[in-house]
Amino acid sequence: MTSHLTELLGSRWPLLQAPMAGVQGSAMAVAVSNAGGLGALPAAMLSPAQLREELTRIKAQTTQPYNVNYFCHTPPTPDAARAAAWRGALQPFYDEAGIDSATVAPGVGRSPFTAEAADLLQAFRPSVVSFHFGLPAPELLAQVRGWGGKVLSSATTVEEALWLEAQGVDAVIAQGLEAGGHRGMFLTDDISSQMGTMALLPQVVRAVRVPVIAAGGIVDVASIRAALAMGAAGVQVGTAYLCADEASTSAIHRQALQGPAARHTALTRLFTGKPARGIMNRLMRELGPMSELAPAFPLATTMIGPLRAWAEGQGRGDFTPLWSGQNTSGCKALPAAEITRLLAQAWEA
Amino acid sequence: MTSHLTELLGSRWPLLQAPMAGVQGSAMAVAVSNAGGLGALPAAMLSPAQLREELTRIKAQTTQPYNVNYFCHTPPTPDAARAAAWRGALQPFYDEAGIDSATVAPGVGRSPFTAEAADLLQAFRPSVVSFHFGLPAPELLAQVRGWGGKVLSSATTVEEALWLEAQGVDAVIAQGLEAGGHRGMFLTDDISSQMGTMALLPQVVRAVRVPVIAAGGIVDVASIRAALAMGAAGVQVGTAYLCADEASTSAIHRQALQGPAARHTALTRLFTGKPARGIMNRLMRELGPMSELAPAFPLATTMIGPLRAWAEGQGRGDFTPLWSGQNTSGCKALPAAEITRLLAQAWEA
């Protein structure tokens, strides 16, 4: 299975660097791909111009395969009542920060995969395109396949894995509950359906025929070997790359990842509207991490922006999404290539 | 570490059968211990007379070591207002079942480890005593140690593992979020602190010097090997024993475990007052599995009893705690000795 996956991905190791929108770009992707892993460029928070620039940088710096990652959500209809409720929930913080909330406009935070995005990608023909929150429309997928692109997506339940396989994905990423960042869940919004990697991975491996990539709690050689023992064809690692030299992770975020605060992460809807795992901070504690007050994804984001900027200006991550998995012991301030080499020892005899 | 743990426990394999109050007794403990695992007798739901009877049966049927398990909670002060709220929440179900709720008396569902229990145990000198929800008072622990009993307890966070080690436990059971039945959490009641086995286990292994036993999602040879790869000295397996011949698991519960319903488990407070993982059923769906309406542990139990009996009489598990971990693929209708032998293959070369 492992060798099948490396053939599919084209990388030396079946080791995927998890795309992490907002904290890394082309530099990380290039470093990991050149070191024998599959580097990833998260596209969700890039404008078309930025994406073209980043892809151009990758093309200039590596001949190795890489992965471009997109979110697959249906942008919601703005809902004035929910936006007002959210503004109301944040008002005490605006008051404390001296921000006039009337100047804070709701807006869109993350873009899904569109025809425009597919056309832009086509010029670069990335060998792997991965999706979160399901898959885009069949004609967009067909376009990716048209240039020979392999398609991956995340499953958080056995049902989602079966659905993805039925749509013809080349491999499934089984995303256990330990994982940092957004839960890829798309057939349900019931958090109780979410499983730890130890339970999800073997059940997905048993349910589908395509290779399964384990994600969630994979931070070092031992946990990679554990995932392989349970039938994973490869692994996807996010948190362990968050403090890499090439990551654009902020100093505040790095400090949280490397300190005692990282012992307590939680799923929260507050930063985007969809559940994502991050280190517990003031906003999460005071509003409740899964508060229903946050509007639909991705509308929650922009109204937090000014609070985040205000607190970060004072050296505090109180309103910052401190994305992190449940085990930060693998976070090392090293070049991403070195992290990749350390992790790849899992495949040495 | 593995050999150290078998020396400590006295069993052939570092394989602990998880104590499962309500669904197994001495028959399971005897079968597992005689097969080379460490069988367990859950004492929480037994009267002193029943416990003495069960211990006498074990003594008559095995010379191998076994484990007696207790809950360590402080029985709550009954709270009339909360009891009334709980009765109110259940009233529509009582009405549907034609049960006069005035005849349903709140009562105690589970006993903690007391001086009386320690005195009773002393006559049998079990070689291992394990606890859930922390540890009993130091003088009771000293009594267990006095007869040479080894002491184990569950940790659901790194903090709990460090606390248990400081109290001098002989080994820590790292209970990942995948596990069925009650969360052993005792330093926090914040569910967001709970980690998947893949994240919890290696962090506990790194934090403490005593052997660490992995629990949660351990269902077969592959998952045992995964746990060992992450530093576990042994494993504790519950769900995979639930359909064993010697289990007293009801037909309704067995059917749920072996059917599609088992794909969706959730943590619920409804059956006892403390969060425990079971297969989603009608009560959980209709009241919300973590509803705050359920009174403090273990007071929630008795008022559900008549509803459970009524529904079970009609072949339905709508009000039955269908305890289960997140992976039931290991549930086999086999003798417990055979299940033990299958699992123990993990330690063969």
Q: Does B216 touch chain A (CB under 8 A)?
A: yes
Q: How far apart are CA B244 and CA A339, in angstroms?
A: 45
Residues ≥6 apart with Cβ < 8 Å to B100: B94
**Could you tell me the pLDDT band of residue A60, with boundaries at 50, 70 and 90?**
very high
pTM: 0.96
A86 and A21 assigned to the same domain: no
CA distance A48 to chain B (A): 37
Q: Please tell me which of the candidates A159, A178, A280 has its beta carbon nearest to residue B196.
A: A178
CA distance B145 to chain A (A): 33
Q: Is residue A251 in a domain?
A: no
- 3-class secondary structure, A217: coil
pLDDT in tens, chain B (349 residues): 567 899 999 999 999 999 999 999 999 999 999 999 999 999 999 999 999 999 999 999 999 999 999 999 888 888 999 999 999 999 999 999 999 988 887 666 678 899 999 999 999 999 999 999 999 999 999 999 999 999 999 999 999 999 999 999 999 999 999 999 999 999 999 999 999 999 999 999 999 999 999 999 999 999 999 999 999 999 999 999 999 999 999 999 999 999 999 999 999 999 999 999 999 999 999 999 999 999 999 888 889 999 999 999 999 999 999 999 999 999 999 999 999 999 999 998 7
Q: Is residue A86 in a domain?
A: yes
Contact yes or no for B196 and A217 at CB 8 A:
yes
Q: How far apart are CA B58 and CA B46, in angstroms?
A: 15
Q: Is residue A254 in a domain?
A: no
Question: What are the helix and strand counts (H, E) for chain A?
Answer: 13, 11
**Is there a contact between A216 and A178 (Cβ–Cβ < 8 Å)?**
yes
Q: Please tell me which of the candidates B157, B192, B230 has its beta carbon nearest to residue A222.
A: B230
Q: Does A29 touch chain B (CB under 8 A)?
A: no
Contact yes or no for A264 and B192 at CB 8 A:
yes
CA distance A162 to chain B (A): 13
Contact yes or no for A157 and B218 at CB 8 A:
no
B315 and B340 assigned to the same domain: no
Q: Please tell me which of the candidates B176, B223, B264 has its beta carbon nearest to residue A202.
A: B223
Contact yes or no for B223 and A230 at CB 8 A:
yes
Domain count of chain A?
2
Burial of B85 (C-beta count, 10 Å sphere; 0-12/13-18/19+): middle
Q: Please tell me which of the candidates A176, A230, A327 has its beta carbon nearest to residue B222.
A: A230
Q: Does B258 touch chain A (CB under 8 A)?
A: no
**Any idea what the CATH number is for the domain that residue A119 is in?**
3.20.20.70
A100 and A177 assigned to the same domain: no
Q: Does B229 touch chain A (CB under 8 A)?
A: yes
A165 and A118 assigned to the same domain: yes
**Is there a contact between A160 and A133 (Cβ–Cβ < 8 Å)?**
no
Domain that holds residue B303: 77-108+259-329
A126 and A104 assigned to the same domain: no
Q: Does A292 touch chain B (CB under 8 A)?
A: no
Tokens of A181: 């960042």
A182 and A284 assigned to the same domain: no
Contact yes or no for A202 and B329 at CB 8 A:
yes
Contact yes or no for A178 and B199 at CB 8 A:
yes
Q: How many residues does chain A have?
A: 349
A62 and A205 assigned to the same domain: yes
A124 and A172 assigned to the same domain: yes
Q: Does A264 touch chain B (CB under 8 A)?
A: yes
- 3-class secondary structure, A341: helix
B243 and B266 assigned to the same domain: no
Q: Is residue A24 in a domain?
A: yes
Q: Which residues of B touch A230 (CB under 8 A)?
A: 222-223, 226
Q: How far apart are CA B338 and CA B345, in angstroms?
A: 11
**pLDDT score of B1:** 59
ipTM surpassing 0.90, yes or no?
Answer: yes
Which helix or strand (DSSP H or E) is residue B154 part of? strand B150-155
Q: Is residue B136 in a domain?
A: yes
A137 and A66 assigned to the same domain: yes
B322 and B183 assigned to the same domain: no
Contact yes or no for A176 and B159 at CB 8 A:
no
Q: Is residue A253 in a domain?
A: no
Contact yes or no for A217 and B198 at CB 8 A:
yes
Q: Which residues of B touch A198 (CB under 8 A)?
A: 176, 178, 196-198, 216-218, 223, 226-227, 327
Q: How far apart are CA A252 and CA A271, in angstroms?
A: 16
Q: Is residue B254 in a domain?
A: no
Q: How far apart are CA A80 and CA A94, in angstroms?
A: 19
Contacts for A219-223: CB closer than 8 Å, 24+ residues apart: A219/A325, A219/A327, A219/A328, A219/A329, A219/A330, A219/B202, A220/A329, A220/A330, A220/A342, A220/A343, A220/B202, A221/A342, A221/A343, A221/A345, A221/A346, A222/B202, A222/B229, A222/B230, A222/B231, A223/A327, A223/B198, A223/B202, A223/B229, A223/B230
Q: Does B202 touch chain A (CB under 8 A)?
A: yes
B173 and B211 assigned to the same domain: yes
Contacts with B, A 326-345, CB within 8 Å: 326-327, 329
pLDDT over 70, % of chain A: 98
Q: Token pair 């898959």 is at which residue?
A: A135
Contact yes or no for A198 and B225 at CB 8 A:
no
Q: Is residue B95 in a domain?
A: yes
CA distance A233 to chain B (A): 14
Q: Are strands B171-175 and B181-182 parallel, antiparallel or unpaired?
A: unpaired
Inform me whether the pLDDT recorded for A105 exceeds 80: no
Mutation target vs A (from B178, B198, B221; most A CBs, 10 A cutoff): B198
Q: How far apart are CA B102 and CA B327, in angstroms?
A: 39
Q: Does B206 touch chain A (CB under 8 A)?
A: yes
φ, ψ (nearest 5 deg) of residue A323: -50, 135
Shortest CA distance from A284: residue in chain B: B192
